[in-house]
Amino acid sequence: ARIAVLISGTGRNLQALIEACADGRIDGHIVCVLSNRADAAGLERAQQVGIATEVLSHRDYESREAFDTAMIARLLSHTPDIVVMAGFMRILTPAFIAAFAGRMLNIHPSLLPRHPGLRTHEAVLAAGERKHGATVHFVTEELDGGPLIIQDELIVRADDDVMTLAQRVMSGIELKIYPQAVAWMARGELELAGRQVRFKGQIL
Ligand code: GRF
């Protein structure tokens, strides 16, 4: 499968996907990494292994629609089968979501449907919740609200702070579940059917 990855920052999830493609866990290859920020560290991770990169700054466009139209064109030039959002920090327009409907995944650092949006680790600590985690889901028009594919959780410790929690969610959960979900997609085992997800033909 041909995989495009969208980033805005560090690219730790991107790195995990690069490694999973390299060692065969994902039957596919990353055909392009697109960032809306020229200084995203993830761009270097891609360049180091010879993956094509694209930088499109949203500031160069007069509207969200114009930016997304340009992104669609840039992505389509790489003919991706799967579009993976890995820390891409822009809200997508309906036109963008429609262009890749059923082929686009996102990872979110919370146990969705709890805590959509930003600052999830803060929210979990502020609410005194015992469980936290991360979720991979199909991207639909609802922000962080698309059908869930895989989720894993951890127990919040009494001495956890935002840093330790973010670190444990990233290394213990995100970097494991995202390559797994993308591997299923690449093998054609996942399908979005309306609001439902089918895994190997069975409704999840
Ligand atoms: C991750 O926590 C991801 O879940 C969130 O943004 C962060 C991206 O980190 N949406 P990285 O760029 O993969 O290191």
The DSSP bridge partners found for residue 158 are none
pTM: 0.97
Does ligand 1 come within 6 angstroms of the Cβ of 179?
no
pLDDT of 125 > 90? The answer is yes
> Which of 5, 12, 104, 173 should be mutated for ligand 1, with most atoms under 8 A from CB?
12
- Per-residue pLDDT of 32-80, as tens digits, reads 999 999 999 999 999 999 999 999 999 999 999 999 999 999 999 999 9
Q: Look at residue 58 in the predicted model and tell me its pLDDT.
A: 94
Examine residue 92 and state whether it is found in any structural domain, yes or no. Answer: yes
**Ligand 1 atom nearest residue 12's Cα:** 14
Examine residue 37 and state whether it is found in any structural domain, yes or no. Answer: yes
Q: Look at residue 148 in the predicted model and tell me its pLDDT.
A: 97
- Per-residue pLDDT of 76-124, as tens digits, reads 999 999 999 999 999 999 999 999 999 999 999 999 999 999 999 999 9
Q: How confident is the model at residue 9 (pLDDT cuts 50, 70, 90)?
A: very high
Does ligand 1 come within 6 angstroms of the Cβ of 10?
yes
Average predicted confidence (pLDDT) for the chain: 97
100-117 exposure pattern, b = at least 16 Cβ within 10 A, e = fewer: beebbbbbbbbbbeebee
Does ligand 1 come within 6 angstroms of the Cβ of 133?
no
Examine residue 72 and state whether it is found in any structural domain, yes or no. Answer: yes
Q: What is the mean pLDDT of residues 151-168?
A: 98
ipTM computed for the complex: 0.96
Q: Look at residue 66 in the predicted model and tell me its pLDDT.
A: 98
Examine residue 167 and state whether it is found in any structural domain, yes or no. Answer: no
Q: Look at residue 159 in the predicted model and tell me its pLDDT.
A: 97
Residues that are catalytic: 108
Examine residue 168 and state whether it is found in any structural domain, yes or no. Answer: no
Examine residue 19 and state whether it is found in any structural domain, yes or no. Answer: yes
Q: Look at residue 14 in the predicted model and tell me its pLDDT.
A: 98
Does ligand 1 come within 6 angstroms of the Cβ of 12?
yes
Examine residue 116 and state whether it is found in any structural domain, yes or no. Answer: no
Q: Look at residue 133 in the predicted model and tell me its pLDDT.
A: 98
pLDDT of 204 > 90? The answer is no
Does ligand 1 come within 6 angstroms of the Cβ of 132?
no
Question: Could you tell me the CATH number of the domain that includes residue 12?
Answer: 3.40.50.170
Give residue 81's domain range: 2-108+133-153+174-203
Helix (H) or strand (E) holding 160: none
Q: Where are the beta strands (DSSP E) in 11-141?
A: 29-35, 53-55, 82-85, 104-108, 131-138
Ligand 1 center to 87 CA (angstroms): 4
**Ligand 1 atom nearest residue 13's Cα:** 13
Examine residue 120 and state whether it is found in any structural domain, yes or no. Answer: no
> Which of 14, 107, 118, 139 should be mutated for ligand 1, with most atoms under 8 A from CB?
107
Number of domains within the chain = 1
Q: Look at residue 121 in the predicted model and tell me its pLDDT.
A: 98
